[in-house]
Structure 1
C-alpha cells in the first residue's frame, strides 16, 4: 500500500496551506465577529467574498469536483488532504467553493441535470455566485431511514406538485440560495421501497415554499449559512425539473451522500488536528501546582490518545477514499459508514479536551465552540452514528455468514460440521 501523496497532491497541499495562512487564519476572528454582530446576520460576509475571489484567481477553486472540465479532476484520495486543510477553519471550505451542501449538489447536477438546469443552476454554483440546499430530512418521520420520507411529488400534466414539511435544510436561510434539490415520494404504492422516491429541482425563493424558521444549534443559528425548516404547499415546477426520472431518488441520494460523507470526515480530521495543536500550545504555556500543565500525566495521556485517534481516523478515511476511487462507492459502503462514525466522534472528543485545557476560556473561545457544535451535529447529519453502526454490523455479519469456517479457524464450527462433537461435549 502506498502511503505517500502524489507530487500533484503535495503541490496543492502547499498552495492550499499557504492560502489558509495568508488569508483565512489572519481574518478568522474578524469573520467571526462580523457574522455575530452585523445588523442583518443573514447577509454574506463581504470579507469572505473577497477572499473567495482571490482563491478563484489562484486556481484554488472547485477542487472537490472530479470532473476536470469544471474542477481539478482529483480523485478522492488526492482531494482528502486538501479537504483536511480547509476543514481547519469553518470559513475554509467556502473560500475554495468546496463547502457543503453545494459540493454534493454540484455533483448531482453535473451527473443528472439536463442542459437547461445546468445552465440555470450548475454554472452559477460553479462560479460561486449562488448557493443551494438539499431538502431530504423531515420532522414527522425518522429520516435516518430515507424510505420513511412523506413529502409528496405528484405529476400534474406538464408539472409536478410538491407538498411536504422539511427541516435541517442547511443553507436555505442564506439569501444567496437559489435552488433546492427536494427528495419526496412520487410512487408511494411501489412495492420496492427504494423506488418510491424521486428528486426534483425547486427554484428558491418560491411562492409555495415557506421558510418557517432558522433552526438553532446549541442556541446559535449559524448565520449567514444556517439550517431551515421549510413548508412546501402546492409547489408547482416543470416536469423537466425531475432528476434522472421518477423512482430514482434513492439511487441519487446514495450516490450523493457517499462523497458528501467522506468530505465531512476529511474536514473533521482537520478540526481534530488543529484542536490538538491548540491544546498542546495551551498546556505548554500554563503553570499549575508548580509545573507546566503539559507535564501532568493526565494531559500526556490525552495528547497521546489524540494523536492515535487522529492517525487512525486519517488512515481509515484514506482507505475509504481509495476504495471509492478503485472499486466504487457501493463496495466501499462499510468503510464510508465506519469513517462517518469515527471522524466526528474523535473530533468531538479532542475538541472537548482542548476546551478543558483552556478552562473557562475554552467555552468562550469562538473557534472551539463552533468546532464542537459542528462536529456534534455531524454525528446526526448524513445519518446518525447508530444507523451507520447498524449497517457496519449487518455487512460484517453477512461477510462471516458467507465464510467457510474451515478456512478461518472456526474450531467449534469445524468440529460440528465434521461430526466430531458428541451431544453435550464441550466445544
Structure 2
C-alpha cells in the first residue's frame, strides 16, 4: 500500500488591526483570506493576532504590548513566520524582524511568493521577478541579501562603496533588464493579438478562485489547470470558441484580489491587456462566497484602474450548486435579516434588476447547470458586437431555430 504523501506546512501566525476604516468583522474576513493565501503558499496558520488602533504604529505596525505578546507566543510554539494583512513599510519590517527574530512578511510579499510558485512560463516568471525586485529595492537597508554578483568585482566597485549600495545597483540593473525583456515580449504579444484577425474577443475576469478556469474548460473543451487554491493559474490562456456557427476568442485571465500589489498590476501589463482589448467581459462571481459583493467591488475597482470599466459586461454568478443562505429560526425575533439570508431567487431578482436581465446569469460550471442559457446569452452578445462591426456579414450568422447535431450531443 502506498504511503500518503505528507506536506510539511510552515508554522505561521497572522496579524491585522481594527481601525475606524476597518471594522472587527471586516478584519476577520481579511484574515480569513490571508489564511487561505498562507495555505496556498505552504503555511499553516496556528494563531491570529489583532489590535484596535487609530492608525498603525509607524515603528512596529502593532503596539509594543501586542508585539511582546506575539514574541512570547512564537518562542513557546516554535513559529517560523508572521504575516501581516497590510503592507509594511521598510522600517516597520526591519524593526519587527529585529524584535521577533523570525521571518516577517506582509500581504504583498505573500502574494508575490504565491505568484513566484505558480509562474509556469518564462514570461510569467519574468513578470513576477520584476514585481519582486520592485518590492525588494526600498527594503534593502539593514539587510544583506547575498544577491548573485552579476556585476561588481575588480574595476567595477566605486571607492568606498558598501555592500548595500552594491546590492541596490545590482537590483536596479536587474529591474532595468527585466523591464526591457518584458517590453520586448509585450511587443511580440501585441503583434500576436493583432494577428488574430477581426474575431470578437471575450475575456473572463473575476476574483481569484471563482471558477474562471473551470468555466474556460467547459466552454472551450480545453485543459486549463484548475485547483481549489488562490491564483491556480497565472498565464493568460486564449482559445478559439465556436457557439452555433459563430467563432470568437475567449481568454482566461489572472484572478484579481483585494489589496492587489501595485507591483503586480504594473508587471502584469500584458496579461491585463487581454482585458483592455476585449470586446466583451464575462465577470465571473463565486456566489457561494459570503463576501461576493465585496469581490465584485474589488474587481470593478481594478477594471476602473486599468480603464476597462466601460466595456460590455455579462455578470456570471457561478457555483450556485454550493450556495447556502443563512437561516433564521421562525421563533428567533432578535436576529435581523441581512443579504446573507437571501435565497438564490432573491439574489436573482436583485441582480437582474441591478444590471438588467440580459446581463446577469446564474450557473454552475462544474455541474453545467443553466449552461445552455449561458451559451445562448454569450452567443447573442458576441453576435451583436460582430454585426455592429461587420453589418454586411450579418447573413453569415442567422439565428438558429434549433441546435446542430453536434451541440445536441454535448
In terms of fraction of residues, the more helix-rich structure is 1
Which category of TM-score, normalised to the shorter sequence, fits these structures? under 0.3
Q: Which structure exhibits the higher relative contact order, with contacts defined as CA atoms closer than 8 Å and separated by 6 or more residues?
A: 1
